[in-house]
Every structure is written in C-alpha cells, then in structure tokens.
Structure 1
Amino acid sequence: MAGPGAYAAVWEPGRQNVTRYRLTPRGWPEGRRLRLAILSDLHVGSLHVPLSRVSELVAATNALAPDLTLLLGDFVASRARIASDPSLADLATELARLQARDGVFAVLGNHDWWHDEPTQQLRQGPTQVGLALERVGIPVLENKAVRLDTAGGPLWLAGLGDQIAFLSRGRRPRGIDDLAGTMAQITDDEAPVIMMAHEPDVFARMPDRVTLTLSGHTHGGQVRFLGWAPIVPSRYGNRYAYGHVREAGRDLVVSGGIGTSQLPIRFGIPPEIVLIELG
C-alpha cells in the first residue's frame, strides 16, 4: 500500500490539469462564443498549496486567454488559520493578477466562513476573505446578479451566498443563500444566466431561467475509483460529485478544485483548472 499511498499523498495533489468542456446549454444564443476559466477550492495554506502555487495557477489560467475568470470559493485551508499561512492580503494580491477580457468574479465557500471566527460569532458577514478580494478589485457576488456585456454578448452573472455558511451544534449548518432574491435581480428574459454556487446541491432546485450552474466544493470526492467516489460532501452523493451534469435540460459543471480538505490526499481526481467553451 506504500506505493498508492505515496501517490495519493504526494504526487497527484501536486499535479495541475486543465479540464476542458465544450457546451451549448439550452437558451445559449446561436453563434455566440464565450470562454470561461474556473478556479475552485484553492485551500491556500494546505499542504500542497503554498502561495507560490497560486502564482503558478494564475499564470496558467491567464495563458488560457479566458473571457471570464470565475473563482468558486474556499480560498483558505480547511482548518483554523495558523501563523505560517499566507496573509489574505497577499493571497488577494496574487489573485488580482488574473486577467480576463470581461472580468474576474468570485463567490465564497463554506471554509471562507467557517474559519472566520467573527462571522461565526456574529452570524453575519462580511468575511475577511471577501473583504480582501474586494480590496484588490475582485467583485464578490453574494446573492447578487450583474448584467455584463461580454465577448459572447450580454449575459447575467449571478453568485449565490454560501449554502452552509454558519456552523450549528448538533444541526446542519445554516446558509446565507437567497436563490429567489438573486433571481429577482434579473430584469429581462433574453440574456442567458450563469450561476456561481459553491456547493452544487442547489442545482436540484435551480430555475430553468439559469443557463449554466458552476460549482466546486466536492473536490470530486477527493478519492475516485472509475468515476465513483466513496465519500462526497453532498446530500445527493455522487449525483453532483464531479464534472458535467445535465438534468431536465439544465447544465451543471462541478470542478474538482485545486486543494484538499480534511485528508491531504487525492486519488483519481487530480487538481484542475476548468475551461468551458460556450457555443
């Protein structure tokens, strides 16, 4: 077992793939093309993701020449911060080097909330991660939708608040997500809607008005055998664990992410930057 164990703990978590999807979701305008670069679950400060690796990820993402770069949350390690962790200001400064024709946008993940003690005590934001990103000019879409004029024409980009933001003793974590309130900000029936939601579970109740949902959180289960993961942090198990999912004509892409959570291993699901070519 030493061989597979070493592979899962040392080699695979340090890899860096680009996973590509070419999609034409329902409602996408004919002939319009848009390139989306996705970074999720960096977990900076974890064993395999020092700040220097963020620099490498930024360079690799920029080399894809995306129209939009979307950051899907869990920027920090899945534990309480320690003195050796990179500062949030330094992390945000590195991410500010991301370049995309139509902008760089973010949502927050559960660990950005769970390991922010003031937000857990007050049961409200803003989070330290969110403030750091906003200070360097990266908008954080928290239950917010914005209309953009992009290379692929006008579209709505929406970001859902985290669905398990607040820890609760003996009960399921409580979220700050407001799907109805976010959708109410969309004021036309024509421009396609892309929804950023850290956890994919919301896809089960996503309105048909949403053209494409983008999520992370699961790490693809972090250990996968022939496309199946024994443990997935989702009430739906493997249904939304990883990759492109199409249900009832609606599309979801779940990134396997970059870092690790809980156990510092990956097996069968290497870290990835996702590139989605729409149209």
Structure 2
Amino acid sequence: MIYLIALALMGGACLLMYMLREAFADRVVYKELSFPEFPESFGEIKLFFISDIHKRTVSETVIGEIKEKKPDLVIIGGDLLEKGVPFERVKKNLMGLKTCGPVYFVWGNNDYEADYHQLDALLLECGVKILDNTALSFESIEGERFILMGTDDLSKDRDRLDLALKDAGSGGFRVLVSHDPRIINSITKEQNIHLVLSGHTHGGQIRIFGFGPYEKGRIKALPQTTILISNGYGTTGVPLRLGAKPETHFITLNKS
C-alpha cells in the first residue's frame, strides 16, 4: 500500500512538473492563409499575433525568431497583463515586440484588472497603436486597401463593432482583432470581415483526457468569416498547462 501511495505521489509530482514546463514553453505556429478577396497588389502581408501574455515575459527566443521573419504588423490580442503584473515587465514586453515591427493592441478583460489609465499611457509612451472600436486602412499604390480593425473587450460590454466598421469605411480586405472570440456572434457575411484574430480561452489551459472548459485553439471557416482562436502565450489562475500548448502565430496572408 505504501509503495502504491509513493508511486502515485511520484506520478503526480512528475505530472505537475510537466504541466509547469508546458506553461512556459515557447511556440510559434506558422500558417499561410489565402483568400480570393485579398488585394493582389499587396503581394502578401505578414502578421505576428500574440495574445494572453498575462504574467509572462516574452522570451528572447520568440523575439529573435520573429524579428528575422520581419512581420509587417505585430498584433497583441488582449490580456497583455493581469492584476499584480509590474508595469516594468509590461514595458519590457512591448519594447521587445517593437523590435519586430509596428505594434497594435486591443483590450482584453484582464487588462482592466490593472490601472488601465496607466496602461493606456504606457502604450502611448511605447508607440503602440490601440484599436479600441477603431480601424486603420493601408493602401497600395494601385489603390487597394487592407484594413485592420479592433474592438474593445466584449466581456466588459465595451465592444462596438459598429463603430469599427464605420471607421473602416466601405470595401477593402478586413481583418478584425477581438480578444473574445464570441465577437463572431455579432458578425454577418455582409460586413465582409474576412479574418478574425482572437484569444481569451487559453484552449481550455488544462484539459483532462482531452476535455476542457473551452475548445483548443484553431482556425475555423465559418459562413460569415474565418476565425483564428489562439491558445495564448501565458496562463491565468495557475501557471500550468495540459493538452493546450502555449502558442503565438506568424500568419502570411495572400491571394488564392
């Protein structure tokens, strides 16, 4: 009996060590997405997407790998921090990501746990563009448009997709960034939002026998849009993961 108890304790300790190691792993997922509506004059657009950093420091390994790939846009999909995270760490993460390319940010629910006025000021200081129910338009020499849209956090009832759409104007290839993937319930096919980038769910973070509170991160083609839901980079609650590896994303967009 004592032997079995000792064996179980050793197994539990090994599992905890594995979950801890998984929580702090670095992973960049590469994906090429082709759309018939993508403006051919842009050739391709390269995006680096990272969400749910929470308490983590973005590693030099990830920064170095992404810097070499030279993304056109670096996008933070919310939960840059949570309550208790020092702003010095947040600034270090922002400055590291800035070495990879121009940085854009949308608010997540945990960002409001801290002094969000201070966070807003820090983002401004670091030259990060906040997409809070707004849109940015990039135009090629031929006059075709690529539009990056962002909504404020849905769970705080701060999202106003209608304002982002108004800011985007008509036409263009549209990418929407929203921390909470439930934004898809507000999207219609007529809005011509071609891709949605989101996080929030952590892929369930800890999945027992493959089951978790949320589905694992993935790309889904829906009738109204295509959505990428990320497992996220950090953790919340406990610094453990099982069956939902941390991930960041390097996405290449082009015309099919």
Question: TM-score normalised to the size of structure 1?
Answer: 0.77
- d(CA) in 1 for partners of 2:61, 2:233: 12
- d(CA) in 1 for partners of 2:208, 2:39: 37
Q: Aligned to 1:185, what secondary structure does the other structure show?
A: helix
1:218 aligns with 2:201: yes
* Paired letter, 1:95: L
Give aligned-pair identity as a percent: 24
Alignment-derived partner of residue 108 in structure 2? 109
Question: TM-score normalised to the size of structure 2?
Answer: 0.83
Deviations 1:58-99 (A, max 9, x none): 33332332111111110113xx32xxx43x255225413424
Please point out which of 59, 66, 69 is paired with 2:71.
66
Alignment-derived partner of residue 270 in structure 1? 245
Q: Which runs of 5+ in 1 are unaligned?
A: 117-125, 166-174, 233-237
Alignment of 1:1-279 (within 5 A): 1-2=11-12, 3-8=14-19, 10-25=20-35, 27-30=37-40, 32-44=43-55, 49=56, 51=57, 53-77=58-82, 80-81=83-84, 85-86=85-86, 88-97=87-96, 98-100=98-100, 103-116=102-115, 127-149=117-139, 154-165=145-156, 175-189=157-171, 191-208=172-189, 209-224=192-207, 228-232=210-214, 238=215, 241-248=216-223, 250-279=225-254
Q: Aligned to 1:184, what secondary structure does the other structure show?
A: helix
Aligned pairs, number: 238
* Paired letter, 1:222: Q
Conserved? CA contact 1:25–1:251, under 8 Å: no
Conserved? CA contact 2:50–2:232, under 8 Å: yes
- d(CA) in 2 for partners of 1:210, 1:131: 30
**CA drift at 1:225:** 6.1
- d(CA) in 2 for partners of 1:68, 1:149: 14
**CA drift at 1:254:** 1.1
Conserved? CA contact 2:51–2:77, under 8 Å: yes
CA radius of gyration, larger in: 2
Please report the RMSD computed on the Cα atoms of aligned residues, expressed in angstroms. 2.5
* Paired letter, 2:225: R
